[in-house]
Structure 1
Amino acid sequence: EAAREKALNMGATDFITKPFNSTDLLARATAHANYQRERKALAETTTIDALTGLGNQLYFNSRIKQELAFAARHGHSLSLVRADVDNFNKLFIKAGKEAADQVLAQVGKIVSDLIRKEDSAARIGLSQFAMLLPTADAAGAAIFANRLCRQVRDAVFEVKGHKVAVTLSVGVLCPDAHPGATPRSVIEEANLVLEAAQRAGGNCVVTDEELRKKDALPSQATPPPTSAPEGSMTVDQAIAFIEEGKSQVVAPHLPALRRKLAPLLKLLAAAAQKQ
């Protein structure tokens, strides 16, 4: 019993005494395998970054899809701000994981305090953050980004009792949120803007507008044509076209849209019968 307690205190998650029993070993192994599968499944469904309290990559992927669809449907502005902690790898190697995590947690707190209730913020990489600002235009997003950059630069960060300077590279993208815009294309474009800020030496904000003036960023994708687009149309795209008075664009896709909506229509019909 003393050996079992010692092993558990040293970090062991289980303890098997001799002589080994094959049935017992198999049962223990199966239990541990099931635990690991459940743990992995939970990690794949959670949307919170445990270190910063912000959203994680899964959360961000969901939010950008929703915000793009909403902006396209209602004709609202949408801004995406990407930020990366400058020289984070050097800090990680020099100070260690625990100290580096403290820096990330503090940056996450600054981000959380800056965003509005309607905004979304996530940690989407080791030292990378993304913020979605619905209804924010280019000027408003630039103000937010510069405020974030300044507050991180002016904040007091302590690593192992010593103050360290922490700065951000920040990229601002105001995508053309038409029905044909995709999260992937928007994210790729935002990455280009962030990389421009990093190439500029960090501790700065670069906007897509600045890069377009220098022809350093491709022109924004044009909205879908008024003729019937090729491929499958989403329900959000169909609604956006109808609200724009372009029902003729949706007409060729009605059979496919009806199939997509069939489960929902069936559920609504069943609910109506119960009332």
Structure 2
Amino acid sequence: MTDLEALAAAAESADGAAPLDEATWLALRHRPDSVQRFEREGGVALVIGDELTLVVHPDARGRGVGTSLLDEALDARAGGGRTGQLSAWSHGHHPAADRLAASRGFAKVRELWVMRRATADPLPELPASDVPVRSFRPGDEAELLRVNAAAFAHHPEQGSMDAANLAERMAEPWFSPDGLLVATDGERMLGFHWTKQHSAALGEVYVVGIDPGAQGRGLGKLLTLAGLHHLAGLGVAEVLLYVESDNAPAVAVYSGLGFAHAAADTHVMYERA
């Protein structure tokens, strides 16, 4: 069986973007029976539910490996009677992915931007607020899930997080309760900023969620800045985040905090009916 971690590392080194996202790794580690796997020498295709991931080693590209894997996955789906939409991500928006997607009837439906800022750039001070911000504590899980579901009701990935998925994420080596900041009003959670430290040099604005009933109180900026100060205190050199390219208000907020987007830092989702 192909060493998937080595294959992913080689692809990331060549492309500058990881070919497998967090949701895929979580499924592979915690729910391997949910993953359909197709292999060719130099490449792997994975299907989890209605989402396809395709990885080809840089040394095997241009030989039809990706096309063969995609056709095998599509044939297996058709043979299994699956008729719903199938989605696929191109992490890094490569022209070859565009061509392959178009050749098999996939259309571009979403663009996800990566935005970055250096922690060497000065951070604004935390705005004055009467809302306390603290680290996550055991027992906060139910409120966190409630706020997350409300804040991301229309988000296809984040909004579906349940207790089992939350537990999976908290079991990851990077998880630290100190990096999960919550704003509260008594026992009620108003919002949260979940940060992630990828390495000694890299941090992430992982998720910022605000209860819709608490919108308009400046909590998004408060929690975002609190998380950025936390990450800077850990000594990381850079912080990144993911944002939908068409979410103009969020892009404006993050740009105002010093985040910038480069064209190569674009992830594209394709769908095939």
* TM range, smaller chain: under 0.3
Structure 1 length as normaliser, TM-score?
A: 0.25
Say which structure, 1 or 2, has more relative contact order (CA 8 Å, 6+ apart). 2
Q: TM-score, normalised by structure 2?
A: 0.25
Q: Indicate the structure with greater strand content.
A: 2
Larger helix proportion of the pair: 1
